[in-house]
Amino acid sequence: MLTTLLTSISQLKNVFKNLRSQLSVEKKAQLEEAQRFWRKFCEAYCDFAAYPVFDEPGYPFHKHDCLGRVTKQHIKNLEGYNVRGASTASGADDERLDESYQEVINQLYSQVEKLWLKNAQEEWQKFREAYCGLTADKNGCLERVTRQHIENLERYIEDLDV
């Protein structure tokens, strides 16, 4: 699992470097800010996702699995970065995101878990705005990133049901 995570991180660095080389100075600064927000979100979300096994020996495995999955999603986002073009985002995605978030919150008993999820959600929102603000296809980016986050929340819900 750790090897997979390290491979994903290496791939992310290469994709980030390649994308960065194609951008103006201003866009590079925006991309770096978005990347900082993504790192904070990634850590916060995976801390939250692995929290149920925090005191168990499997905690590092669960956190590394989460970090690898979220990193792979981020690589897809960066590879799909679009400097030109447009599409329309769906308001239904925002509704589905809110429903998924509320479903997770309602299944949490611990205030600590709720705070960790709230922190992860706030970091994700900062990342989404910063990252999608870079592209001419902001609506398409918002839709894609939102759907990936919904998938993460729904996977968490499925894991709770196991």
pLDDT at 51: 84
Q: Output helix, strand, coil percentages for the chain, rounded to the nearest 5.
A: 80, 0, 20
The domain ranges of the chain are 2-161
Buried b / exposed e over 149-162, threshold 16 CB at 10 Å, is bbebbeebeeeeee
40 close to 131: Cβ distance less than 8 angstroms? no
Give the number of C-alpha atoms closer than 13 A to the C-alpha of residue 41, restricted to the C-beta side: 24
The whole-angstrom separation of Cα 78 and Cα 100 is 25
The whole-angstrom separation of Cα 153 and Cα 151 is 5
Token pair in block for residue 162: 């196991």
Q: What is the pLDDT along the chain (162 residues), one digit of tens a residue?
A: 677 888 888 999 998 888 888 888 998 999 999 999 999 999 999 999 988 777 788 888 889 999 999 999 888 888 876 554 444 445 778 889 999 999 999 988 889 999 999 999 999 999 999 999 888 788 888 888 999 999 999 988 887 765
pLDDT at 82: 54
